Structure 1
Amino acid sequence: MQDYSYLLKYIVIGDTGVGKSCLLLQFTEPGSTFNERHDVTIGVEFGVRRVEVNGQALKLQIWDTAGQESFRSITRSYYRGAAAALLVYDISRRATFRNCKTWLTEARACGNPQMVVILVGNKSDLSESTRAVSEAEGRAFADEHGLLFLEASAKQRKHVDEAFVRPAEAIHGLLATGAIEAGDLSGVKIGPGSRARSNDGGKACC
């Protein structure tokens, strides 16, 4: 396994059917074929990918959660110790955008206060006639709540990498300035390729 400086825990949240699993699959398995009829996530799915940020290797450990109400208690347990969250909505379904406020409130109540959140409007490949949420509305919501923002298309693999890398860049910046430190609460662990020192005598975490 290749060395990495830090391991970052991610969580992907949002209503069912917005394309969370497709975004994860397109990011962690770039050569995979897009499936219009991806099975609904039952509980939690998991993926890993290594990325480079400012010359450092970061390993992203990504937990994709079910959007159905019946699994919300399981989802809440994954907020704890998450360094970043992708909050996903479907640009053609206004209700999924409206529910982002509830998802965000829950994430901030159950997660760490410095968790980086990016709002992702998925399915940007759809025609303008089917769009129910404008890009300006999504950006305004993100600005109001201090979130990163972009629109993406899992189908076309457009901005998929950016949706996951931008939070990693933000977290890397927080680590560099000392605004956050590696530890279970921050969702960041020191990797085997890091020169950083942990609080247990300098041993690197994996």
Structure 2
Amino acid sequence: MTRALLVLLFPLIVFSGCTSIQLEPLPEGMTDQPPADWDKRTQTLRQFSHWTLSGKLAVRQPSDSGTAVINRWTQQGPAYQLDLSSSFMGMGRTRLEGVPGMIELTTSGGDTYRSSDPGDLVEAATGWQLPIDSLAWWIRGLPAPDGQPRLLFNQQQKLAILEQDGWEIRYDRWHGFLDGMPELPSRITALKGDKRVRVVIASWRREE
């Protein structure tokens, strides 16, 4: 009798357990199934680790907002050098140099600051909250190595949304900047709560 009762109750137990799992619905027109060439594309973009781009950066958050020109963002593997020009908060020409977990910021006045927390240093110097270490991956259309990402693709089989570390990165436009390379983002918008970071890329270039 006990065994028969368990057999009868088992579907109810399973059903009850399943109903407790809440799956977030996919946005209309989106799928979480990557296109057939996604692995190949990802491998190519990971190998594209030495590059330079130029463009514009806009930050909007409750405390302040501003824009900057990206004169030059050079990435050499994990190391980066980012030259910005902005009239916002008297930033002038600002240079960021670093590797994941370490950053050096040089102001237009020549003052240099170093920190093991890139995000905190950038916020202290500029008032902006920028996920510097992750942006080098997101800007190529890749999830950062740390953290569990969620990828959503549109009907054109292009990456449309990447969610990671509390940020939602929207890929607004793609462009074929370089011969022999997959299309690269030409505009991305990163959102986290009431913060927004938008990057518009004017050019990409390979570096040795």
State which structure, 1 or 2, has the greater radius of gyration over its C-alpha atoms: 2
| TM-score computed with the length of structure 1 as normaliser | 0.30
| Greater relative contact order, per chain length (Cα 8 Å cut-off, separation 6+) | 1
**Alignment TM-score, normalising by the size of structure 2:** 0.29
**More strand, by proportion:** 2
